[in-house]
Amino acid sequence: METETVYLNGDYVPLADAKISVMDRGFLFGDGVYEVIPAYSGQLFRLEDHLERLDKSLRAIRLQNPHSHEQWLNLLTPLLKKGLDQSVYLQITRGTAPKRDHAFPQNVTPTVFAMVTGITPHSDPDNGVKALSMEDSRWKLCDTKAITLLANVLLRQAAVDNGCTEAILFKDGYLTEGAASNVFAVIDGILMTPPKSSAILPGITRDVILEIARKNNIPCSEQAISKADIKKASELWITSSTREIIPVVELDSEKVSGGKPGPVWKTFYKLFQEHKQSLR
């Protein structure tokens, strides 16, 4: 059995040998950020967009990027296997400090960790998933891809406990996103998603879907979506880098799109796969 190799602080090591200090601020405070980058046939997908989002997250927590974009490309590429679809998980923490103190430590080297996993996108054209609507209880910096994901974990687990795949979140009566995804709705024939703000993570897959829609003259809009709007949606999707586009066919025990993936999702699934194929 082949040993999985990961990157940690300048070295490529077996996963079992990758260790960090218990004094690492990521462990003690969740003081760090992360990024997830798909790779198709060994080629990183929209790397520049992902690294720009990483730059933004690092600026938000006042941590300097330890590498240039070119250095990230050279660092991550050796982890990929040619011909496979994978995703790269990249995490940067503020590093290991000599003592536990909420204030930023001085002269500390960031901890950099990266690993790859397989991608298993939704590919069943005849079935979708169940979701549960919940109040968005997270903090006010959801556009920062921070590793402090306890609120997301609890919301997602509440959905799982109720036999659902995802929690779809609302704040003050308006859709934000999923616990681990962006959300799209087809309403009155228009593909809609909430606009970018501090309330949602600006997903790269989200942007790709909007680009595909505009390229193919499919009506789309970035706008506020109320809970009442969602109830009249003919289709509902959740999207992410690792799961791509998943149709939601039941929300709060009520069927969406007759309990089956809708025609717009089927069109987009085909268009998204064609887009991926063009990159290989």
Q: Active-site residues: which are they?
A: 145
- What are the tens digits of pLDDT across the range 113-153? 999 999 988 989 899 999 999 999 999 999 999 999 999 99
- Cβ neighbors of 132 (< 8 A, separation 6 or more) are 158, 159, 162, 164, 166, 167, 168, 251, 252
Q: What is the pLDDT of residues 26-74, one digit of tens each?
A: 999 999 999 999 999 999 999 999 999 999 999 999 999 999 999 999 9
* Mean pLDDT value across residues 234-243: 96
Of 222, 59, 73, 243, the closest CA to residue 143 belongs to 59
pLDDT computed for residue 76 by the predictor: 98
pLDDT at res. 226: 98
Beta strands in the chain (DSSP E): 5-8, 11-14, 32-40, 43-44, 86-93, 111-118, 129-135, 166-171, 174-178, 182-187, 190-193, 220-222, 235-240, 244-251, 254-255
Distance (Å, rounded) from C-alpha 95 to C-alpha 146?
15
Confidence at 2, pLDDT banded by 50, 70, 90: low
More confident residue, 221 or 276: 221
- Whole-model pTM: value is 0.93
Whether residue 18 is predicted with pLDDT greater than 70 in this model: the reply is yes
Domains of the chain in sequence order? 5-118 (3.30.470.10), 129-278 (3.20.10.10)
CA distances from 42 to 37, 223, 243, 248 (A): 12, 35, 17, 30
Query: Mean pLDDT across the stretch 68-86?
Result: 96
The residue-averaged pLDDT of 95-121 equals 96
